[in-house]
Structure formats: C-alpha cells, structure tokens
Amino acid sequence: MHRSLGLLAITLAVAGVAACSDSSGPVETTNVSMQDQCDAASFNAALGAGTCSTQGSVTFAQFNAELNSSHQVAAWRYVPSTLEIHVGQAITAVNFGGETHTFTEVDQFGGGIVPSLNQASGNTTEAPECAQLTAADMVAPGAAFTADVATAADVGTERYQCCIHPWMRAVVTIKS
C-alpha cells in the first residue's frame, strides 16, 4: 500500500514539474509505466542483494524458463507499448517494477547491455545507444525518467527499449 502511494506521489510530482518547467507554457506529458514482477527473494539470491526490491510473483527460475521458451517475459514490459504524442509533448517513464530499467531511444531495436539476456531473447546485436548509457539513464524502482520534449524535427516514429531487458519496447508516433 505504501509503495503504491509513493509511486502515485512520484507520478503526480513528475506531472507537476513538467507542467511548470517552461515559462512559455505547460508541457503536456504522456506517461509510460515500466513494469516487472520480480520475486525479491529468488532474484536477490541469484543475482545479488538489491537486484529486486518488490515482492513480485515471478521467481528467477520462472523468469528464465519463460525467457528461454518465448524470448521474452510478459510481466517485464512498457505500458502502453505503442503511443502517439504531438510536438511539444514529452514522455515520462515511471518504474513501477522492482528492478532497474532504462527508457532509451534507439534507431533500431536490438540487444541491451546484458549479454545473457540478449542471447536468451534473440537480440544478439546490441543497440548502439545502449553502449552509451550513463548512470542518469538507469531508472530505479519508484523513479521516473522524462524523455526530451518532442520537436518538429522528431515528427515520425521513435523507438524506445530497455537496455537491460531488450524485449521491453515502445513505439512512439510523433505528430505535428
């Protein structure tokens, strides 16, 4: 309950900052939810303390079994995975999961920074943008990341992916 209220407060705070950040007027923000269902006990035992901060329903063994059979894990996703925004709008990705994620714009979808997840998901060629990540690109559980405000030069299709879990993807159509 406290975690849900905390995430709601973060979402509202991000929306408020975005609305007040530009003296020429408010910036409309569209939210994307980063989701996962990691089980803290099994993920932390396998990958190290602090890997997962929630009591999700997917154990590390279940995660690996699903990833190896279907090349993705359905509970690790962006919601929505397709969206439309207009010039002057921004996207805020809020991490409602228990693991760290990224919301990285890529020219083409590809692999991320974890070779074993790339192999298991069939994304064996790393997206070049993933190789250029900084600490600021990592979105911890409960945190938010706001992509740049869309400009006229951005009109068209943009692709976003998690550079840790490369099957987590969003396609954004930007209209004028």
Identify the segments of the chain with pLDDT beneath 70. Answer: 1-25
- Note the pTM of the prediction, 2 decimals: 0.85
For 118-162, what is each residue's pLDDT tens digit? 999 999 999 999 999 999 999 999 999 999 899 999 999 999 999
Domain regions of the chain by residue span: 2-38+75-175
Find out if CATH 2.60.40.420 is the number for domain 2-38+75-175: yes
d(CA 131, CA 154): 22
Written as one string, the DSSP assignment of 16-37 is: HHHHHS-TT-PPPEEEEEEE--
